[in-house]
Amino acid sequence: MDDRLKKWIRWLEIIYYDITQLLVKQNIFWELQDIIKANSKLQKPSSFYKYLGDTYIAYITIGIRRQIKNDKYSISFARLLTELSQTPSVLSRKYFIGLYSGFAVEHLANRDFDKFCGINKDYISPDIVNADLNELNWVASVIEDFTDKRIAHHDKREPKILPKFEEVDSCLGVLDKLYCKYHLAFHASFMNSLMPTYQYDWKQIFTIPWIK
């Protein structure tokens, strides 16, 4: 296996974990909002709610920024896509078909790889990779600017736009979608989302009084 391919697969493990944690924190935050909305007794001003919102925005925006950081020292999704677009022959049809070998779906390998390059192409299309990278950078641009100027440090310049919650969530949605796409390309394994299924009821703690 090509050393670059080995490196990208190692990177994907790190990126997988990071994006999964972002999605879990996003889910917890919004389910907490639903708990508050469903109980009128909780709908009163509280510094705790501001703390939740501030913490959520700081964690999520820094996490998104980490995935679009694109320099030679970064392990990020944007960096992976950039290197892949520059050396697309590393992710070849031959490698991809080999992942299907011996499985019942082996006959679907060529069809599945066509999604990444078109029919009868030997390796992933750099145009497709660049289009995905551009989509990620576009949805993250407002968040990156705000994070750089207000979260990572306090810049003398004002952020161009203050991102809304829905813009943050939309960016996370793109990250999730694109990761799943390239997980298939590297591992021949399909997934709809990195959001895991809870193995316990994390909301159970709210069914008992916190202050006795």
Residuewise pLDDT in 10s, the chain (212 residues) = 789 999 999 999 999 999 999 999 999 999 999 999 999 999 999 999 999 999 999 999 999 999 999 988 899 999 999 999 999 999 999 999 999 988 888 888 999 999 999 888 999 999 999 999 999 999 998 888 878 778 888 878 888 877 888 999 999 999 999 999 999 999 999 999 999 999 999 999 999 999 98
For residue 185, give the DSSP letter: H
Cβ distance 4 to 181 under 8 Å? no
For residue 151, give the DSSP letter: I
E strand or H helix at 111, and its extent? Answer: helix 109-114
d(CA 176, CA 197) in angstroms, rounded, equals: 15
Cβ distance 15 to 179 under 8 Å? yes
Instruction: Tally the C-alpha atoms within 13 A of residue 144's C-alpha that lie toward its C-beta.
Output: 14
d(CA 190, CA 193) in angstroms, rounded, equals: 9
Residue 204 is predicted with a pLDDT of: 94
pTM over cut 0.75: yes
d(CA 92, CA 3) in angstroms, rounded, equals: 14
Q: Give residues with Cβ within 8 angstroms of 116, minimum separation 6.
A: 91, 124, 125, 128, 185
d(CA 162, CA 5) in angstroms, rounded, equals: 38
Residue 158 is predicted with a pLDDT of: 80
Distance between terminal CA atoms of the chain?
A: 60
Instruction: Tally the C-alpha atoms within 13 A of residue 20's C-alpha that lie toward its C-beta.
Output: 13
Cβ distance 194 to 20 under 8 Å? yes
Cβ distance 33 to 166 under 8 Å? no
* Structure tokens given for 119: 């029919």
Of the candidates 159, 167, 10, the one whose C-alpha atom is nearest the C-alpha of residue 79 is 10
Q: What residue has token string 């968040």? A: 143
* Structure tokens given for 5: 């391919």
